Amino acid sequence: MREILTVLEADAHASVERIATLTGIDEATVRERIAAWEASGVIRRYKAVVDWDRFGDERVTAFVDVTVAPERGRGFDDVAERIARFREIRAVHLVSGAQDLRVEVEGASLKSVADFVAQKLSGIDRVTATSTHFLLRRYKDDGQLLTDPEPDQRLSVTP
């Protein structure tokens, strides 16, 4: 059944018929599994990967490493969930290493992202440190290459 999810992850527009053809699973089963996964939250949403730079949108993205003082019996979850509620936040991950959380922040300008980190994120109870890294260029996003393919440099073969 993982095959169904793999096809949907690569192409959210894939029809039930196409998924059945690609996976060898009958259409009724594909339809039932997708409906069950949507209902249970396994499938959260369908989305498009947009190359905002190519579109001309001047968004600013930063990855902020956040150090949190864990609390007995609560760990990091409550702080991570609080951070995730801000509209500027695109993603929050618990990570290994020197910091505890890796947060993706998006804003209209460098200043708006910096203000968010300084005023909102760093002011959260138990956040002890932040380290901000601004995104300079995306080459691949959500498994999708965002660069133009290199032209074929091979010479044509003629009889």
Q: What is the pLDDT of residues 53-93, one digit of tens each?
A: 788 888 999 999 999 998 888 889 999 999 999 999 999 99
Regarding whether 113 and 81 lie in a shared domain, the answer is: yes
CB 146 within 8 A of CB 138: yes
Regarding whether 111 and 57 lie in a shared domain, the answer is: yes
Q: Mean of the pLDDT values across residues 108-123?
A: 96
Phi then psi for residue 33, to 5 deg, are -65, -45
CA distance 144 to 158: 35
- Whether 20 maps to a domain, the answer reads yes
Domain residues for the domain of 106 are: 52-137
Q: Which amino acid is at 145?
A: L
More confident residue, 5 or 148: 5
- Whether 157 maps to a domain, the answer reads no
Regarding whether 111 and 58 lie in a shared domain, the answer is: yes
Confidence (pTM): 0.76
- Whether 147 maps to a domain, the answer reads no
Q: How many domains in the chain? A: 2
Half-sphere exposure of 94 (CA within 13 A, CB side): 9
CA distance 159 to 147: 34
Residue 64 neighbours by CB under 8 Å, 6+ apart? 102, 103, 104, 105, 117, 121, 130, 131, 132, 133
Regarding whether 73 and 28 lie in a shared domain, the answer is: no
Regarding whether 100 and 71 lie in a shared domain, the answer is: yes
